[in-house]
Every structure is written in structure tokens, then in C-alpha cells.
Structure 1
């Protein structure tokens, strides 16, 4: 009996099971979509005329602590892939280890950065040993789901956009061997932006290109690099991601369809990144640095064919009409859209000051010098990955407090619990009034998101990463509190003494109110006249809110609510309002048009 013939790239077109095959793919990330909605989103992808699902695999979520692996519930990657297969979709898997994906540190776990010599995405032994350990756990979960074993996985991508990094010529060979030696036997791919194709390839692996328009020579360059091979746009960007303080990116539907039609007319395979973006729940978002540090928003709507909450868009309908001509059978009817509602506003009832929650901190540690989050002795020596860290020391004078660019990423500065300023990438100094009496200096430092792209990924330590000085004298003797805001921390808050909001709150603080629900339904949570912080619903971290926009509403999935009482808790840094509001529709702010070169 001959072996089943999977996806092949032996000529100018793909073949699958020996027959010509045009990849019509769409990216939907299981970790950005509530598990209760996986089936809905995949059915909508199939009803649009796509035949292939692509997804990344985020190492930082699957191994949050060294040697601790999570593949359950929201992170049940195998169930997601099997579901795609049951629905008649093929799967292209992109397991990294680096994925970019606008995730914190590009999906790499922050505990890697405890090694001061760390060189991520190279053959540095500290990195390769961590990858090997991760792949020893991950790849055996993937191999049974390959095409040759009756599963839906027809191709696997090596790392991601290595041509833009390219610090070690042996690295991609290492990743290739790491996959092959563990039983990956389907077609191997790489993907790169058009400018970096020449640096991203590896022998025996098919190259693909990422792009948004046809004005560059990416496809021609790809054809020249590997003649007589099928062409594929692994990431066709129907929109773009947003950053805090920026504008909401949109890409005109008619322009997108025109480009897609030209690609398909040429027989070029395509994958929409994203087909459905979803949400950067919790502290998942990454950041970019184009000369200025720019963290990404909680929403990952991406102006994709399916909205953040799973609605159909003009892009979806136009694309479905186009793709219907590339499908031999009539397309299935698109599933009904989830209902949404604007609940009545929730009145905030109680608060507890951050200063009163320090006993709930994961770790309280003292040292002569400030220590970065990753090196705080929290979580069984894995350090702190996300959230906030409070640094405190006593001062006996005043003058200029200088961060020396060691604050990452944003610090609220307090003297005896009174806010006196903010330190961030733009503001390095704060003036402190003179006094000879002893005062407590506190810096509440937030990891706003590690860079997910670029050459500086080895240097993404958060918190305070070196000396800070007062009048040019380095400060010493710090107390540090790990405020990671994990579920265990949020649970500990419940047993603390909360105050009625009739008493004037002391900031920063946690505020809470109760949303009473009859039938749980999707909604968007809005915080007009609030400032900055994090929202928790029934203990679940919904994401960050920030008045600078562009995003003004957080997607709250109905499955995360329950009939009856639901606790809404908001961590607010500077200014709370009396109510928490809800809306039926998102509010993504003023728009800016792409394409992106």
C-alpha cells in the first residue's frame, strides 16, 4: 500500500493527494478566540470559501514557567486542530519557536531573559536547550495530527520571518532538524517579507512571502529564488494592528479584493493574515519600536474579514463572492452572527487601594539594587513575566530623579503615596521637592508589552533594569513587590477589606461592581472618563484599557459571563468614574488607511 501523498511543491503548482491544489487559507489563532467560539469562527472561515486554517503556537503561553506545560482548555491546540479537520479544513501550523504575531516577546517566554548571555533565535546553547525541551513536549502532540497519520496538518512553518533577524546562519538548519528528528514529515515552509527573502531561506524548505500590495517585486523575487516552485503569499494582510496612542488601521475592501483577484488569477496560493484577528486578552500584546516604543492595543481586530467579535464585514461578503468561483461545490451558508447587547451601566460599589493590597503580592523581595521583573524570585524562580512591579526605597533629599533609561516601560512615581510624575521611554526625569525628612519613593512599573519584532529581543527585561539616580547618585535598598495580577492574586484580593466608594479613593486602586445578567450575551465594555489600567471579569483578565485610544471598548465574550451576578473589577491607575458602561458595538477610534509597504 503506497503512502498517502500530502501537500507537495514539486512543480509550479501545489498538489495534494496527487491533484492540483490551490491553498486558500485564513489565520485564526485559538489563543485569541474564546474556546466556546472556535467552531463558529472556523465554520465562518469555511463558508467564505477557504480550505485551509493557519495558526501560530505561542510558546510563552504553553510554557509560562520553565518545564511547566499548559495544553488544556483555552490552550488545547490539539482539540483546535482536530476540530478544523472535522469541519473539512486543512491546517498549516506555525509552531515557531518565534512567531511574532504581535505577542509579548514574539511568543518567546520571558524566563529566557534570566540568562544574561541569552541570544534568542540563534544556536546559543541556552536558547537551543530551551527549544529542545519545549519541542520534546510540543511536537509529539502535533505528529499524530499530520496528513500522513490521517490528520489535517498538511504543512509546517519553520520559525517566522527569520530573514529580518538573520543573526545566525545555522539557526534555521537547527529548527529544521529539530522538527524532522521529532517526526514532522509534511511540507516545510518559511515565510518572509519581500525585502528579507534572500536571508530567510533554508535548503530543502519552500519559501513563501508576506505582503499587502503588488507594488513591490516580492513575488518576482520569490519566483527567481526558487524557479519551478509554487508561489504562495503566506501572509496577505487585509488590515493591520493598532498601537496605543495611534489611529485604527483600515484597508479598503474594494482595494483588497482587487489585489486578491490578481493573485488568484495568477494561480498564487494565499493565506489571509488575519482572517479573524480576535483579542489580545490579558497581558498578551507585544510592542514595536520604530524609533519610539509603541505597545499594541488589547483589540486585535486587524480590520479583518471577520471582526473581533465574529461579525461579517464587507470584506467577508466580497471575498466569499470571489472565492465561490474557485470552489467546485456551492459554499455552505454562513452561520448566524452572535447576538450582542448593551447591558445597563454597572455602578462601582467598592474599592481597595493598591497600597492595601501589597500583602497579596506574589513576592516581596529586598535587595540593594533594583531587579528586573524576570529576575525577581517569583513563581518558582521563573521570575515575573507580566503585570506591574512596585519598587520602593527611602530618600532623604530632593532634586532630579533620573531613570537613566532603565524604566521599562512606564512608571508612576510617588512620594509618600502621592503621585508626582510619570517615567517612560519619552520622559526620563521627574523633579522631587527638597526635604530633609525621610520619605518613601515608590515606582509602580508596568510591562506594557515586550517587543515582538526587531533586533533588540535579547534586551526586553521589564521593570527597572539598572540604576536610577537622585541628583546623579544611584538609589539603593529597594523593596520590590510582584503585582503580576494572575488569577491567584485577584483571588487573594477578595479576602481583603474593601471600602465603599463613598469614601474618596486613594490611587492606584481596584474598583468593583456587579453586572447582573439573565442570559449571557456578547458585549463591549467601555470606561469613559477612566484613565488607564486592567479589566477583570469573574477573575478573568480581559485586557488593558487606556484613555489615549484609539480603542475605547473592550470585547467581552458572552461565554465568559454567567447567569446571575458577574463581578467586574477594574484596576485603575489615576482616575475612576462612577460607572462601567457597555455597548453593542466596538469603538476603535479614528482611522488611518493602509496599505503597508
Structure 2
């Protein structure tokens, strides 16, 4: 049992000054059988605390559901932190950003007419209350005063970059208190006067998020936080990648120097990220600041631990800096063995389709409850015809009588395509590539928005087919016909392994799609890069035969699955 409070200039643990040396480690981006390894490596870097967000939409894919199984077992994760002799910071949002789909807000929430987005609106607040009740039921008994690891709980997340509804922030803080949380609460904002003012809350400790100019940013933070400890809640040591862009890295020396400056000033820190992990499945977010850019599957983040949990040069540099301010444990060499290299043929292709349903009006993907769907209608006009869509969110492949015509990309602001003729079966394969996680476009619907026109006339009488991605690994059991052609096509292979060891699946010879190993969705791949491997966590892999399933949306240049020795996350300069 411990007592953790905020003093005049320090955090106080049982009355003594305590500096938080924390690292971000998101349980939902790491296979649960690897949690203990990653936590132990945080301790070995000299950290005393682990921080995590909580993704509302992952825990609650449907209203009334709160899943804590497997990779979502927050309680187990926090208990492992405690078993390692470390403390924890929990950031439940409800909005988390985190380059995570919709910033963690569930898509179902925004199907309610008039629902608010990050403001004090009745429907939004009712849903938040339901969510926080479930999260805090797990966190409350794991606070330090009950013998658990949790030192701090955060209210919302960088709210000053979004709005200034103090009633909303206060209501969130009150709900956290009503959930039995008595450890100190914090807010976090970028150290800009307007953001710290709008996103802060009287009586709640303000913290900052930045990765450079530490001394200057701490002075700004102190101007808004006259007493109490200074803390950088997100010390950005790297960055995330988007499809079609470079792989981001940062200077090890510069990052270490900034961390040194931060600690020399007496501040506490949370390194974001200590270990990034992976956006498994369809969990990646996106940004849209005039151009839509979806985030890649890897969340390596150029962090002290790479995507596979191996030490990097940044780990050793940060550990050396921390050793100047706090004791660090001894570190034994941890050589990295290359992953197995081999290839296996892909076979047994099958067209992946669901049930076709008639729809007079064009439904959004949200209305279909889908992330991937096919829209079909019959055309009957003379000559070449212009097809126009109000807005594509986010990618629509266009087929006419089964032949590919082209692709409408949200990123390119594509909204029109010329069809070679105006008669026949039109099919649009529409993919949600990840919901915007930052800014005013949070919560927007997905799919084809604003209707579809053919030579300026509305197209109606659609049928739709939802592709249930959860069933793709078992597509062959439904008796689908073997095909090699356009449209979503699943392929499968079997590979043998010596045991539960990490693998890297090479994807640069494939087009665009998703991959599963033993029924677990590794995430998205896309030939445009920068990422050209998918990380396969060792705990997914069995000794002996293992199943690989690939759903290809475009075209495969090679019908072979190749495994390679190391990750390929792309060039750092394009």
C-alpha cells in the first residue's frame, strides 16, 4: 500500500519526492504473451513506470459490449506491470488519438442523430459514462493505495488542440472520480498557450507533449502550472508512417540530448513510444489535413524497442542518459537472431463474397456495419459514360462486367471516372482504410457519400455485399468457387516452423490486402509502401504446420508467400 500525491514541486510517493520515468507501451498493440518481455525491457532501460492508453472502440465494438479477453485484458497487463516492480499511468480517453482508428471512439457512437463529438452533449456523455464505468472497474482496485501499480489517470487527451468545452472536461474528471479513482488526475496538451489554457482544468495537473526544445517547452508549461511537478507526458522520440510516405526516423543523438535536457530540468517524463508495436487487424487510424493519409500497419515509431521488441541504438542511448539521474539495472547482451527465411506457394484461391442485399438508396459502410463491401447495379446508357461519386471514403475499385476500369482514391480527391461503355454490371469494391484519428473529421461516416451519378443521373437499385473479414480465414469451408480474377480473392498456404518464434512476411510482390496467421489478422499490406513486411509475433506461431491466409484486393505479381529475416519498413527519404 502506498500513498501517491502531488507536492509543491514534486510527485510524492509515501511523502518522498518521486520522479516518474515512464515509457508508453500499448497492450493492444502487443501480443499478450509478449507483454512481460516488453515490460521487463522497460525496467532494464531504467524506467520505473509504464503508460498505456485504453482504446474504447476495441473494447466495445458494439454498444453494451466490453471485451477484456486476450489482447484486451487491461487488468492482466497492469498486474504484470506490478509484478515487474513498476508503476503505471492509465490514459482512458475517451479519445486517445494514438494513430488509432477514430482516435479510439467507437463508430457506432456516431450513428446516433445529433450525437456530440468531444463535447458536453447528452448522448455522447451517456455513452462515455457507460464506457468509463467498465474501464474504472478494472483500474480502481489497481491504484497504488490498494497495492496496485496505478499512479496517475489522465482526463481526455490533448483536448486543447480540439476544443474548449470546460464543462465537458470537468464532467469527464467527475466521472473518473465517481469511478473510485483517487490517485492524481492529469491533462496533457502541446505547450502552446492557447492549447494549455483550453485543454487544462483547474485542480488537475497539466502536463505537456513535445519532443524538442525541452527547456523552452517546460517554461511554457510552468507559466500555466505555477506549482506542482513538471512532466512531459509524451516525449516524442520518433514518429508514425502513412502509406505512400517515407519511414520516419529521428536522430538518436538529438533525442538523447533532449531527454537529458528534460531530466536535467528536474521534470518527469513518459517516453512516447518506448515500444510502439503493431496496428493489428484494421485498427490503424488516418490523418486528413486537406489530404487523407492512412497510417500503416507497423507502429514501430523508431522507438527504443523495435516492432519485434528488440533493443535499438535509441534504447542504449536513453539508458545511458537515465543512468545519470537514476539507478539502472544491469543489462546482459541480448543478440537478435534473424527470423527464418523461406517461401511457400499460395494455393486454393477462392472468391470472397457475402450475401447480396437489395438497397434502393446507397447505404454507407457504417449503415452496412462493414469495413469492406461490394456495391452492384446495372447500367443501361449509350456509349462511354461518366461515373461520379459525391465523396469516396476511402477507396473504390471500379469494375464493369467483371473487368477492372480503375480506382477512385480519397487521397487523390478522386470523384469521377470515365466508363468505356454505359451498359452492363457495375461493381464498386469499397474499402474503409482507417478512420481519421485527429481533428474535426473524427466520427465521419465511411463508404460512398453523397450518391453516385451516371452521366449526371442518379444511380439507384443497388445490391450490396458485405465482406466479413472475420470469416476470411475459413472462406474455404463455405464452398466458394476457386477463382483467379478481379475482386477480393483469398489465398492460403501452410508453412512449417520450429516453434513460437517471430517471422516477417514479405509483401512487396503483392498488391493490396490483409493477411492472417492461424486466424489472427496481422494487418494491412500495400505495394505502395513504405512498409513491405508484416510482423508475425512468435506466440502466434506453432511448432509444425501453420496456416497463412491472404485476402488480395488488387493483383499479385507473385503467388508465393515469402518470409524474410528482418523487417522492411521502407526508405527514410522519398
CA distance in 2, matches of 1:411, 1:454: 24
- Report the alpha carbon displacement of residue 262 of structure 1 after superposing the two structures with TM: 0.9
Partner of 1:122: 119
Shift in CA distance, 108/545, structure 1 to aligned 2, threshold 3 Å: same
Q: Which runs of 4+ in 1 moved over 6 A?
A: none
CA distance in 2, matches of 1:346, 1:573: 20
Shift in CA distance, 543/164, structure 1 to aligned 2, threshold 3 Å: same
CA deviations on 1:261-281 (whole Å, 9 max, x unpaired) are 111111011110000000000
Partner of 2:389: 403
- Report the alpha carbon displacement of residue 73 of structure 1 after superposing the two structures with TM: 1.3
Shift in CA distance, 38/265, structure 1 to aligned 2, threshold 3 Å: same
Partner of 1:98: 95
Partner of 2:287: 288
Partner of 2:445: 461
After the TM superposition, which of the residue ranges 118-127 and 407-416 deviates more from structure 2? 118-127
Aligned length, in residue pairs: 567
After the TM superposition, which of the residue ranges 546-555 and 332-341 deviates more from structure 2? 332-341
User: Alignment partner of 1:431: what SS?
Assistant: strand
User: Alignment partner of 1:116: what SS?
Assistant: coil
Which residue of 490, 494, 508 maps to 1:514? 494
Partner of 1:581: 562
Partner of 2:347: 349
- 1:268-283 to 2 correspondence within 5 Å? 268-283=267-282
Give yes or no for contact 2:399–2:428 (8 Å, CA) kept in 1.
yes
Which residue of 417, 420, 434 maps to 2:405? 420
- Report the alpha carbon displacement of residue 168 of structure 1 after superposing the two structures with TM: 2.5
CA deviations on 1:164-213 (whole Å, 9 max, x unpaired) are 11153311011001101111110100001122212100111000000010
User: Alignment partner of 1:194: what SS?
Assistant: coil
User: Alignment partner of 2:342: what SS?
Assistant: coil
Give yes or no for contact 2:486–2:554 (8 Å, CA) kept in 1.
no
- Report the alpha carbon displacement of residue 225 of structure 1 after superposing the two structures with TM: 0.8
- Report the alpha carbon displacement of residue 145 of structure 1 after superposing the two structures with TM: 0.4
User: Alignment partner of 1:345: what SS?
Assistant: strand
Shift in CA distance, 167/415, structure 1 to aligned 2, threshold 3 Å: farther
CA distance in 2, matches of 1:536, 1:102: 22
Give yes or no for contact 1:399–1:470 (8 Å, CA) kept in 2.
yes
Give yes or no for contact 1:536–1:568 (8 Å, CA) kept in 2.
yes
Which residue of 135, 155, 178 maps to 2:132? 135
RMSD: 1.8
Give yes or no for contact 1:28–1:275 (8 Å, CA) kept in 2.
yes
Which residue of 45, 57, 67 maps to 1:48? 45
Structure 1: gaps of 5 or more residues = 377-382
Structure 2: gaps of 5 or more residues = none
CA distance in 2, matches of 1:71, 1:372: 29
Give yes or no for contact 1:310–1:337 (8 Å, CA) kept in 2.
no
Give yes or no for contact 2:100–2:285 (8 Å, CA) kept in 1.
yes
Shift in CA distance, 48/526, structure 1 to aligned 2, threshold 3 Å: same
- Report the alpha carbon displacement of residue 493 of structure 1 after superposing the two structures with TM: 4.0
Partner of 1:477: 461
Give yes or no for contact 2:211–2:236 (8 Å, CA) kept in 1.
yes
CA distance in 2, matches of 1:216, 1:390: 53
Shift in CA distance, 371/66, structure 1 to aligned 2, threshold 3 Å: same
Give yes or no for contact 1:350–1:498 (8 Å, CA) kept in 2.
no
CA distance in 1, matches of 2:127, 2:167: 17
Partner of 2:532: 552
CA distance in 1, matches of 2:95, 2:333: 34
Give yes or no for contact 1:96–1:160 (8 Å, CA) kept in 2.
yes
Shift in CA distance, 334/91, structure 1 to aligned 2, threshold 3 Å: farther
Give yes or no for contact 2:214–2:262 (8 Å, CA) kept in 1.
no
Partner of 2:421: 434
Give yes or no for contact 2:275–2:305 (8 Å, CA) kept in 1.
yes
CA deviations on 1:234-261 (whole Å, 9 max, x unpaired) are 0001100000000011111011111111
Give yes or no for contact 2:247–2:569 (8 Å, CA) kept in 1.
yes
Shift in CA distance, 335/538, structure 1 to aligned 2, threshold 3 Å: farther
Partner of 2:248: 249
Which residue of 170, 177, 184 maps to 2:167? 170
Shift in CA distance, 338/125, structure 1 to aligned 2, threshold 3 Å: farther
Give yes or no for contact 2:215–2:262 (8 Å, CA) kept in 1.
no
Which residue of 364, 369, 372 maps to 1:388? 372
Give yes or no for contact 1:388–1:482 (8 Å, CA) kept in 2.
yes
Partner of 2:474: 491
User: Alignment partner of 1:274: what SS?
Assistant: strand
User: Alignment partner of 1:467: what SS?
Assistant: strand
CA distance in 2, matches of 1:568, 1:556: 11
